[in-house]
Structure 1
Amino acid sequence: MIVYTVGTFDLLHVGHLALLEYCKTLGDKLIVGVASNEVVGSYKRNVPVIPLNQRMEMLKALSCVDSVVSYDKLEYVTNCKEQNIDIFVIGEDWGDKPHNIAVEKYLKAQGKKIMQVSYNPQTSSTKIKQNVIAQSHKGKYVAHIIE
């Protein structure tokens, strides 16, 4: 069984690792699709901090990941066909956007599975970025304290 999941995977963290390790338990091979900056920019305000090639390299280094591919358009059918996937693992924020509906329709017609998982509430790349920004501004605008 070939398992496929997608994401940005910016600022790789334990939530990503937990997801990928879980995905690996579902089949024999785990392929990870990584969104390009252009794709991320089409649905998020901020593009990734880590360049695409570096995000892919970090994922390839994980023992639970067998292969890493990128995608430059917000559509999933192409990689699902090319990789001949059996299970597509998606996040809880999946929604009913046209690109999601298209891959659901394709996979259903092929007799393939879609599995939805919950995100790790402990951390996210967004939370990490917010913490970094908060720490970098701590005391920045205080010239001196008068007592």
Structure 2
Amino acid sequence: MKRVITFGTFDVLHVGHVRILQRARALGDYLIVGVSTDALNFSKKQKRPVYSQFDRLEIVKSIAGVDEVFFEHSLELKGEYIKQFSADVLVMGNDWEGRFDEYKSLCEVVYLPRTEGISTTELLAEIRASA
């Protein structure tokens, strides 16, 4: 069985999130998703997510093709998560291209293109502008 792992915040879920999870799942037989904790998200972006880590975990867990979900507490622990979940493939969006090549000794690393024309940041800006 080929195990695939990916990570994300998955705040304000949109079709881009669904598509990257579907494409990640297509690369293997079992999809594991690390959902960034609220604290990790704040440390990366200096802002809190719209939905709590518990809501985001539940939402991602409900998506067809996602087999297992856990909280990602630190970007520096990706290698440990890969080992812990016995992942064969690490999938990330291509906006992270090259940033996780250090894990090629642990598993295959694949960068998938993001869905054009959609981003959580842009969606939130549009929502705020129309409020």
> Does the TM-score normalized on the shorter chain lie above 0.5?
yes
Q: How far did 1:134 drift?
A: 0.3
Question: 2:96 aligns to what SS in structure 1?
Answer: coil
Q: Which has the larger radius of gyration?
A: 1
Match of 1:143 in 2: none
Match of 1:74 in 2: 75
Tell me the TM-score normalised to structure 2 length: 0.91
Q: How far did 1:122 drift?
A: 2.4
Match of 1:25 in 2: 26
RMSD: 1.5
Match of 2:120 in 1: 125
Q: How far did 1:12 drift?
A: 0.6
Query: What amino acid maps onto 1:132 in structure 2?
Result: I
Q: Write out per-residue CA displacement over residues 22-78 of structure 1, whole angstroms, 9 at most, x where no aligned residue.
A: 111110000011111111122213221100010010111111111111111122112
- 1:1-147 matches, within 5 Å, as 1-75=2-76, 76-94=78-96, 100=100, 104-105=101-102, 107-110=103-106, 112-136=107-131
Percent of aligned pairs with the same residue? Answer: 33
* Unpaired runs of at least 5, structure 1: 137-147
Tell me the TM-score normalised to structure 1 length: 0.82
Q: How far did 1:117 drift?
A: 0.9
Q: How far did 1:96 drift?
A: 6.0
Question: Contact 2:97–2:111 (CA<8 Å) still a contact in 1?
Answer: no
Question: 1:90 aligns to what SS in structure 2?
Answer: strand
Aligned positions, number: 129
CA distance in 2: counterparts of 1:4 and 1:128, whole angstroms: 26
CA distance in 1: counterparts of 2:34 and 2:84, whole angstroms: 12
Which 4+ residue blocks in structure 1 deviate beyond 4 angstroms?
A: none
CA distance in 2: counterparts of 1:26 and 1:74, whole angstroms: 23
CA distance in 1: counterparts of 2:80 and 2:70, whole angstroms: 11
